[in-house]
Structure formats: C-alpha cells, structure tokens
Structure 1
C-alpha cells in the first residue's frame, strides 16, 4: 500500500524463491552532485557523523503505531520513507543486502541456511563494516547477525572493532553472546533489554573517542522464539504459529486487542494468485484465533524494543553526540498474518511481507517530513558510504538516500529489484518482478504471473495479468524485469545498458550438416530473452539461447546439408526492440568427403597399424574416430586437405564386424566410411618338438589363419629362425623352425600374424626337449 500503508495502518508463507522489481526512469548515483545534497554533505561529512542503525526482525509496517519512542524520537525528529522495501524479504538475504548494498543475486546469500545461505554464504571480507573501518570509523555490532553465526570456530567477522554477536539464538531469556572474542552466557535476562543496555554502553564508550562511530544494533524482536509460554497459541494443523517470548512486564498488555484485518485477510477469492496461494484453504477459526494471539504477542515484544530505543537515544543525548549522529530504524523483512490466506511467514512479494518501516534522523535530515520515493535495504550501505565520504570495496546496486532526502522529487520513477530463491529446501515459488510507483508485476519460475495496480488495488486483491487490456503494460514491465534480473551496479540503479552488440562467435565456422553445435557469442548489452538469427537460409539458431551475462551468450547452431558456403551476418534482437548486426562473423564451411580407407580392415590383435584416409576438404584441425570399443587410435595427422593418416591398435577381444570411421573438421562438418575388424588368428598347438641346434618342419594348429604374403609365424624368444609359411589352411600352417644350439629345454611362445595385421599367440606351444 502506498504512502506507508496509510502511514502505519497495514499489517511467510510457504513461498520461497522470488524476485520483484519496483519501477524509476532517472539514473541514480551513489554520491550526488545536487546542490541541496552538497549542503547536506557539508553538515554530515565535515563533522564525520556517527551512524546508528537499529533493526528489528520480522516486523510488520503496520506495527509501528504502538512504537511511540521510535516514532517520536526518530520519525518526528527526522524523515519517514513510506515506500521502503526488502529486496529479498527473508532474514539472511536482507541482512547481506544491508552489509553490501547488493541484491541477493550479486552477494549470493540466497537463504537462511547452507548451502545457499546463512552466515557462511556471506563474503565478509568486503562489507560496509570494512569500508567504514578503513575510513576511520570505530565500528560496533550488537545483537543478531546472520543465521548460523557462531558455529565453530567462533570468530569476529572482518571490519568490526567492537563485537557483541548472538551465538545460536532463539531463546529470549538465555542468550549466548560472543563479545570481542569472549563467549558469555546471559541467563534470566530478557534479550531485548540486554541489547538495549549493551548498545547504550557502546554509544557511551564510542562517543568518548575522537573518531566517529558506526553502530548496528540488531534486535531479535519480534521474531518468534522460546521459551514457550502458557498463552501461546496451540499449533493449528498446517500453520506456523510460533510467537515471540514477551518481557514479563508486558505480558498481556495487548491481550484484548483485536487483530485489524485489512481486505486481503483470509482472501475470499484467490483464483488469480499463483499456485501456492490459490491451493490454500480459507483460514480455519482455530488458525484465525492463533493469528490474533500471535499479533498480540508480537506487539508486546515490540514494547521492550521501543523502550530499548529510548534508552539508546538517552545515552546518545548524554554524550552530546545526538546532533552529530544519523539514526535509522528499520527491519529486515515484514511478516504475513493471514493476508491472502497465508497465516505466517515472509519471502512473498505481498506488501505485508516486503514493505518495511524506515525512519531516519540526524544532521541534514529534514525534520517532520516524509518521502514517497521507492527505496530499499540495498540503499543503506551506499548512504553510509556517502555520509562517511569514502568508497565501497565492491559494486553496489543501491543508491544513497541523501538525494531523496534533499529533494522529494528525486528518483520518483525509480526501478528497484527485489529477488528471492531458491532456498536450501528447494521449495517452489521462486519469482522475479517489477514494482513501480504504480505497478507490481511478478513472474514465478513455475510460469505463474501477477500484475497489480498498486494505486487502485493497494491490497493486491485482483491480479490483472490475464486481462488483455493490460497486455501492453505487462510487456513493458517484463522488458524492465529482463534488464534488472541480472543487473549489477549501475544497471540496477537505472543506468541504461550499453547498446546491444555482437562482436564474435566461437567457433565462427560450421560445416554443412553440423547439428546443434555449441557456439559462444561475445558482445555487449545482451538481455535475457534476446533472440539470434543467421542471415540467409540453411542455418538455424535454437531458441534456447543462454545469456550468462550482458556480454556473453551460449547458442546451439545447426547447418543444413544444402546451406550455401560463405560468410553470413548474425542479427541479435533484444526484448526492448533494440537490434544489432555482426557483419560476416559466421561462415558456412565446406564438408569433407571420404573416397577410400586403406587398408579398410585390420584383424584382432593388430598392433601399430598405419591407415590412410583419402578424400577432400579435410581441415587442418580434422580428427578421426572409429565407432565402438577395442580400437585405439595411437596417433593421427592431417597430411593435406586430401589425406589423413593414423596409427591404431586392435585388442584381441575387439568385436568382429563393420565399424564407422568418421573424419570431423573442427567446425563440426564430418564424413564417414566403413572400416572392419576381422577375426584374429588363434594358434593352439605346434608339433613335433624341435631339438636345440636342429631345424624341423613344424605344423601350427588353430583357427582363423589367413594365407597370403603377409602371413608370418614368430617365436617370441631370441635366436629362433622361422621360415616362410606353407600348406596354409584356416586351421593349420607349416613352417621350418630352427632352434638355436644355446636354447634350453622348455616350452616357447609362438605368435601368428595374419596379412591384415591380426595377431594371436600360443604360450608354450613350441617344445624344445
């Protein structure tokens, strides 16, 4: 709902993965040259302002009505942003965006747990903490960091000079804190009060130094936690009804408060919603009672946080640093309580989940004003960098809020990207979308879509995605989303993409008959959804183009057998209608032919046989392969465009029969011919025995003997002489064998080699008595 959900008057589902885009036409810069902003910079930068960021956890924007201290001490004394959003409405991805100024697809923290998220997924070596510390700030942290922080070994993350991080967490009365290298257990102390005290002490200690300080006080309230209390709602089948633990002084302060149901509560008709919502039944009376109890306890938990903020502001006042300190209050994500039949949770793109409170006060901040421009958690780090007069250590996707504070009209047409998913459980409903000052358009991975006119339908009751009257509007938003889905740095901030261009294909030559060959294109300004075509007939580009960045695409290209040889132009068309032509950057090459393979067969057991393939159009990078197992090509060489030679080996167990020999040019064009494997000789015996120093006619028996000039018989020992084979049949061959006088008695191995190179051996066949 716009204008801060009627200024504090609005209230996770089982959704997970997601991406949404909110819409601005002007390019936003991280540090602004606007004169009004420069005046603000003089106030803040010259004095090196202290910066305090106070965050709650899972707080709804509609909860702000009861936080009197936050509204009075920060909001009334400064400026409230009415349209502030979580770029990924889930704890760890949102907190990583605070730390880096990046969307989740860039900082890569995509969930609350490994392998896609949690503390381990964040690269802590370059964050707002390290940048401000390098700029001379005394940095401090107190409270909840990223989920699973504290799993051994426990360390202080880079950039924090004063560290008080919760280890584990979840119990409001038994908190383990890793404090500057020392673990401490606080039992019996209400956690929100504990971190109100720690934060106040940090303010006092930090203000005593000469350097400006940066403090992030990260409270756990009103997130659900233990211990379980007697008035907690009983679990309702299929619903998450976990509640926060409440400080004893505030128990039942809101016990009689009715839950303020907006029109989206327990929505009657969800047929326009994505599958995860439209498949939900209406909320049962038991679930609705539990939602009311959850709402009451969440407010009671926030009372202690409101008091903690007051205590921190008192400490700041006591140090004399109040007027030189930027103080911000916000949260990591919202929380669903029955809207669209979603009883509890976050991560979805609906307002209760994604829209956040954001209040800021301090030097140069307008007092008692509000801003309607879209802003998000990714804008915090750029704002801190701007205030500190330093530079970020990586490309930030967000913008400094100082120009918006200085000029209520600045960035009113801004585009914002919000994304989520996938999560470690692989849950469905990943989405991406566009949120503008008027529209919310969402695309889900499963194919569902949503389109809302946020001005006419602030409670998101009727999606217009299936209404033909809005096709043009939806197409425009889809084009914006195509740009922002993979944006980095300036492109996320509304900067135009470089003009589309395609400069090179690799490989840039394919022959006739090439089928679905992978071709990598490089260029600039490529967008998801871009289409590619090769000029002329006979060359097709599959529609599965994979845009891996705005400068790289992977294509699958096929060339018909009748395609005309020669250079072709390649044309790319982006979803936004822009086109580019890469002149002559692709060529249809000629196709090799095979006229002969000599010899065209070899026998089983053949060793190091030379084969010559003759034909036409063999490329210098041509390669030869023979189908099937048992044949090894030892070496090959292209002698000319008409000749390829290779050496091969055939195992004795290779399958007998015809094989396909293929010559393939480097561009994918190929030719085939037949090659055969013949049965190899298999000698089994030899007789009679031959005495040492004697010559004897020996008959070798076996199978698969082939007559011819190339038939040979060998004795696999030195000194033996074997004559030319005679009386050759398929099962026997006769040879004169002379045994050297020095041969000792024993059995010797005979080897028979057929004219086709096939070899067979008979160990111990020849006997010397």
Structure 2
C-alpha cells in the first residue's frame, strides 16, 4: 500500500534537486495573483487525489474542495475551450479534439483567439503566463498561425509530441519549437513553470500563471505514417518518472459495483459491451497504477510552486486553483480506459481553491462547472463579468458557500458529439460507436439525478441517491422492476421525466444567463428555480399539455449542426408577454413551445403586457370616487384644483405603468386612493346621516362592501397561487362545473360588489337626497327595478 510519509520524503528530495532557488526580493501587489494548475484526464471518482500528499497538504487542508464540480463536455479540447471562454461547447462550436469540429484550428476559425480569458486578463492589467498543454492540434506546424493571443510569457507543449512523456516538444514565446527527447515531460514543465513564476514576480505586476501538465493522460507516441502520409499514433498507459516506477504495486482500480459488472449497464453502444476477461482487468489495474505514478511528479510540482510562492512572500495574496479538463473511467460499465461518456467518472472532476478569504479545510457539494471558472477568475480578481457567460462565479468564502446551498443552481449541462476513443490496448472499433448525446446532471437537497438522451433517441435516468454507480436505467427499453411506479419526491416518474426533459430542451441551446437560470425560460415569473419547485402539482397541466416538445435527435452527427439536433426550445416574445401580462386563467391560450404558430398576435404585445381590463379599471373606479369624496362641500376653486390634480396623477400613473410595466407605483397609488376614500367616507357618514339607526344600517352595508372587496382580492391571490392546478381541473371537469373554478372571474364579481356599494354610498351621502329608507337605495339593481315597477313603487317619498 502507499505510504504518504515516504511519498513526501521522496517528493521533497526531488523538488530540492530540481534546482536551488536564489533568494529574491520580496514584494506584494495590491491585486491578487492566480496560479492555476490544470491536469489532463484526472478523475475525481477513482480516488486519484488520495495519492497526492502535497495536494492534500497545500490545497485540501488549506482550501475548499468542490466535490460536485463538473466538466460539461468530457473530452480535452472542447472542455478547455469552455473553461477559458465561460461558454458551453454548443456556443463555442468547438466540439471535438480534431478538425474539422475541434482542435486549435477550430478555436482560431471561431474567432476565439481574441476573446478568451487571457486576453480579458491582460486588458484588466494582468500579466499572463502559461506552460504546458493548451489545446489539441496545437502543433509544430501551426503554433505561429497565429500565435495564441493573450500571454505575456508562454512555453507550450506542441503536437504531435504533447502526450509523449519521454519525447516532448515545447515552444517558448515566439521562439521555434524545441525537443526534449529523453527528458521526463512533467519535470521539464516544472522547470518552465518555476522560470515563468520568476518572471512574473520580477515584473512586479499582478499575474495569472497557468501550469498544465499532461499527467495522468495516457502516453501517445507517433508510430510512423499511414498510407495517407498522416502520422499514426499508438496509445499506452501513462509513463511515470523513473523515481516513481516502484510505487503502488498492490493498488487496483476501485472495485465499485459499476466496475466490469456481470450485467450490462448504460444505453446505446455501452450496453452492448462484453464483460472484460481477467487479462483485460489486470491490464486496467496496471493502467490505473501508472496514472497514480504519473501524478506523483505533478504532486511534486505543486509543492515546488508553493515553496516558491512562500519564498517570494506572495502566497497570502495568491489564489491557487487545481482542476482537470475532464474525468476518466477504467472498467466502469465494462468500458476500456478513456473518457467522453456522460457518467459520473467522466464528468466529475477535481476542483480545489486556496487563497485570500477562501474557506480552509472545507469540502462542499454545491454544484459548479467549468463554465463557472472564467467568471470566477474575473470575480476573484475584481474584474467586471461579461454578459455572455454561460456560468456564474463560484462562491468561495464560508458565508457565500452557506448561502449557495439555498440559492445556487443545481443543474449541470452535459453534451458530446462524435466518437468515443478508447485509450488502452483493448480498444473498440471507432467506426461502430457514435457517442453523441445530451445530458443533465441535477443535484438538489432531496434528489440526485442523471438524465440523458442519446442521438439514437435512447434515454437514461438514474436515481443516484439509491443508484450512485448508474447501473439501473429507469428508462431502459428492456424494462426494470417497479420502474413505471418509481417515485421521486412523492411524484410519479413520468412527471419527473417531463420536467427533466423540458429543462434539457432549454439547456441544449441556452446562451448566457439562460444557462444559469434555465427554469426562468419555462416559468418567466421566476417562481420556479429548482426541480422540486417545478414538480408542484399546479404545473402538471403545463408540462402534460402545453410544454410537449421533447429532446430528440434527427441524426447522429459528428459535430454541432442544428439540423441534426432535433426540436429546439423557442421562448417567443408573445409567450413572455402572455406570462408577464395576462391573468393566469388564460395562460393556456398559447403554448410556449410553439409561439411561431400564431405570429400575427405578436402585434398585440404592448396591449397584452399591461393587462388593460384589470389594471385600468382599478384606477378608473377609484379616481372618480376620490374626486367626488374630496370635493364634497368644497369651494368651486378647490373642486377644480382637485379635478386637475387627480387627472394629471391618473395620467402619469397609467403612462408610467404602461411604458415601464411598473407595478409598485400602480399598486401604491391604488392602495392610497382606496385608503383616502374609506377614511373620508367614514368621517362624512356621521355628519350627513344624523339618524342613528339609519347610520348604523349604512355602516353595516359599507362594512359588507369592504369585506366583499377584500375577499375578491384574496380570491385573486389564490388564483395566482394555484393557477396551473385550476387550469388542469377546469379542463378535466368541463362545463358547467369549470365555471365555478374560474377564480379570476369570481375576483371580478366580488370586487364589483364592493365597488358598487362604494359608489352607491358615496352617491347617497354626497347627493343630499337622503330618503326615509336610505338603505333601500343601496339595493341591487334588479330588485330595485322590480320594486319600482311594482305596486309599492309609487309610494316612495322624499323626506
């Protein structure tokens, strides 16, 4: 077994032997620095961090470990472009490691070389340095066509020698490439990292240094050329430094339930894989040990960087971030060594942050992704965020982390295009398996799910609370016991799938903040922020009848082509208007999934948004009443002044409300008007109605009117709260019972009763025409008409 004490001793000796550092002048900048260590293919699920004692000492024990950090495309180049741009792969359109859909040439052709993190950092006054792997197909032939923008100093690894541990080629600044054949790649990189750190400190400016070793990626070396004159490559297990070859001789791949399972798991081509034999398993154990051994030089590199940061006395003003481009599987689901799948081993990656104000010795399960890293770096350094980011800054203080448990998004967008490449000697036929899929990883306080749709339109759903190793697909076409009756959050599985699929439909084409808050696209009022919120019964009708567009593919394409991607979520302007402006009771007039069906109605948007029937009527009722009651027994001049002031105020309030869709001014002025009418009326009644009994009866009627008015607004609140449930219920029961469930209509009925009584009372006490039975004048119109037409009608006299 491993011995951390021995590892520390060996690593310490090696770090010292890599070169003695001369004492340098100490300095500190006002702005913080960043050292970003980015490994290649390092797993979070297979325990690799457990074998890195210096990472534990300097980072895990002194920083925050984000255990639920995910890449969004589990392969090198697309993941790295996402990391550096803060955008998902469907927004960068860098979706592969090689041209025509990926690699450095695609990064350049997409115009990203002038629009990614190093450039933004330089624009903000930072010096930027980089050594190691940048992108795939960044080669000895195209390294200067053009040079990567945004770096003060660099020393890049170049293809086709990037992954050759004993024959690497680096290219420094604008110099020609230089071969380091026979030297160990990570050790060469360490020396270059230390040199760049020296340069950064000497410049006495805030800096951002990226160190990107290839470990624990497999070893790739050129094996001649093919018939097409292109180089041929061979894959093998990673190669460790000589000093680490003897370590971990008894370590094996963790034998989790998903490791080489007896029963096939997964979907699409994965469920067809044969179980690995003993020889294959032994090779995979060897591959795993080689990965751990290769990481030891990285561990020493980490220690060397911290040693130098301390020597320069800048550690306390430097953020050190450790992560990997993607995860890795070895034997899980019967897979050969590799990545590119959507399972937890491939998408869950390490993320550790140490620095000023960062919580120490803390592990958190808040959900973070590679799309969040670029925004996080800008946020940490006090640089304004960009509006087109698909991610959000990651919380790093203890208070921020606590708040994030309740407020932060719980979803991860996962996407992949093209073939999956095995990296061991027991490889599969690349031409047989297209690996294109869309997936959604969602982690809430009461649920933990993975949902995916493959390009052959097979579906997967795993409840990772009860099935953390993703062995039991609840949507398997072969059927699973109890799958149809499976319950999540006390909700039937079918309803959960409706919500998950709708969320994935939004995410697969999202841009900017829609990627951060996708539920807002489905529920524009903002009342739904989590899956749990969306599972409320009041939204059943929406997901069962209105939002019926589902995620599916038209074909299995190698790259990102909209024609192959199937239906897209469209949040049209009319849908936003209907949701924001019209009563809930008529939301079901339109389907948000297909706003293009009635484009002519978009011309009504300005009218729909301000909801004329409800909101204008409120002020049209109160303004004349307020005028009547305020001008009662007033002088002609005062009466005119009141009329002019109220007319101007009414016009201002309604124009502001219509133009700005502003609610607060509308609500406050309406409430103020109602208050003035009520208080003024209560003062006038005793003075104008001297008869005690008559006054008491009128006051009782007034109280009844107030109660009816208030009850009407309570009905409106209930209608807003259970709107979707009422829509479903009305459609279920049909007429005439559905009429009783139209609460929006009942709101108008009860408020109309209260409003009528208010009008009648004010008219009665301000007209000076009080009769013997004053309350009779407040009777409803039909009974009054009947009495006037009857025999007693002519007997009514004035006092």
Query: The TM-score by the shorter chain falls in which range?
Result: 0.5 to 0.7
Match 1:157 to one of 148, 159, 162? 148
Cα separation, partners in 2 of 1:245 and 1:458, compared to 1, 3 Å? same
Asked if 2 retains the 8 angstrom alpha-carbon contact of 1:89 and 1:347, the reply is: yes
Q: 2:158 corresponds to which residue?
A: 167
**2:451 aligned with 1:468, yes or no?**
no
Tell whether the 8 Å contact from 2:85 to 2:117 is kept in structure 1 after alignment: yes
Q: Which residue of 1 aligns with 2:22?
A: none
Matched length: 480
**Contact conserved, 1:415 with 1:494, CA < 8 A, in 2?**
no
> What is the CA-CA distance between 1:336 and the residue it aligns to?
1.0
Pairing partner for 1:51 from 7, 25, 34: 34
Which of the residues 318, 325, 334 maps onto 2:311? 318
Alignment of 1:242-321 (within 5 A): 242-270=236-264, 273-321=266-314
Question: Which residue of 67, 73, 76 maps to 2:61?
Answer: 76
Residues in 1 aligned to 2:43 and 2:148: alpha-carbon distance in whole angstroms: 29
1:231-630 map, 5 Å? 242-270=236-264, 273-392=266-385, 395-402=388-395, 406-410=400-404, 411-422=407-418, 427-437=433-443, 438-466=448-476, 467-469=483-485, 470-494=493-517, 496-497=519-520, 529=550, 547=568, 550=571, 572-574=590-592, 582=599
1:298-357 superposed Cα distances (whole Å, 9 cap, x missing partner): 111011110111111111111111000000111111111000100211111111111111
* Greater C-alpha radius of gyration: 1
- 1:87, distance to aligned residue in structure 2 (A): 0.6
C-alpha separation in 2, matches of 1:404 and 1:582:
48
CA drift at 1:392? 5.0
Rounded to whole Å, the distance in 2 between the matches of 1:186 and 1:409 is 49
Query: Hey, what's the Cα distance between the residues in 1 that align with 2:168 and 2:215?
Result: 13
CA deviations on 1:387-409 (whole Å, 9 max, x unpaired) are: 22223566111110136752334
| Larger helix share, 1 or 2 | 2
Q: Kindly tell me: are residues 403 and 189 of structure 1, through their superposed partners in 2, closer, same or farther at Cα, counting changes over 3 Å? A: closer
Distance 1:164 1:385, change over 3 A: same
Query: Deviation string for 1:466-517 (max 9, x for gaps)?
Result: 522321111111111111111101000115546899xxxxxxxxxxxxxxxx
Q: Distance in 2 between matches of 1:491 and 1:373?
A: 19
How far off its partner does 1:226 sit?
A: 5.1
What CA deviation, in whole Å up to 9, does each residue of 1:336-387 have, x standing for no partner?
Answer: 1000100211111111111111111000101111111111111110001112
Q: Is the 8 A contact 1:228 1:245 kept in 2?
A: no
Secondary structure in 2 matching 1:429: coil
Would you say the 8 A contact 1:204–1:319 is kept in 2? no
Flag the 1:530–1:476 CA change in 2: closer, same or farther, 3 A: closer
- Is 1:96 matched up with 2:100? no
Q: Deviations over 1:151-192 (max 9, x none)?
A: 534223111111110111121122211101112222322110
User: What SS does the aligned partner of 2:460 have?
Assistant: strand
Which consecutive residues of structure 1, in runs of 5 or more, have no partner in the other structure?
1-44, 230-239, 502-524, 532-543, 554-569, 587-769
The 3 A distance-change label for structure 1 pair 458 and 47 is farther
1:148 aligns with 2:137: yes
Who is 1:110 aligned against?
95
Distance 2:369 2:29 in 1: 26
Contact 2:418 2:436 in 1 (8 A): yes
When the two chains are superposed, the root-mean-square deviation of aligned CA atoms in Å is 3.2
1:186/1:552 Cα in 2 relative to 1: closer, same or farther (>3 Å)?
farther
Secondary structure at 2:367 match in 1: strand
Secondary structure of 1:327's counterpart equals strand
For the residues of structure 1 that align with 2:193 and 2:504, how far apart are their CA atoms?
40
Structure 2 gaps of 5+ residues are 1-27, 224-233, 421-429, 477-482, 486-492, 525-545, 553-564, 575-587, 604-799
Contact 1:110/1:423, CA 8 A, preserved across alignment: no
Judge conservation of contact 2:551–2:567 (CA < 8 Å) in 1.
no
Deviation at 1:260, TM superposition (A): 2.1
Determine helix, strand or coil for the equivalent of 2:66: strand
Q: What TM-score do you get using the length of structure 2 for normalisation? A: 0.56
Shift of 1:284: 1.3
Change (3 A) 1:473 1:396: same
The structure in which a higher percent of residues are strand is: 1
Residues 121 and 227 of structure 1: is their aligned pair in 2 closer, same or farther, counting only changes over 3 Å?
closer
Instruction: Confirm or deny: 8 A CA contact 2:72 2:413 kept in the other structure.
Output: yes
Other-structure match for 1:511: none
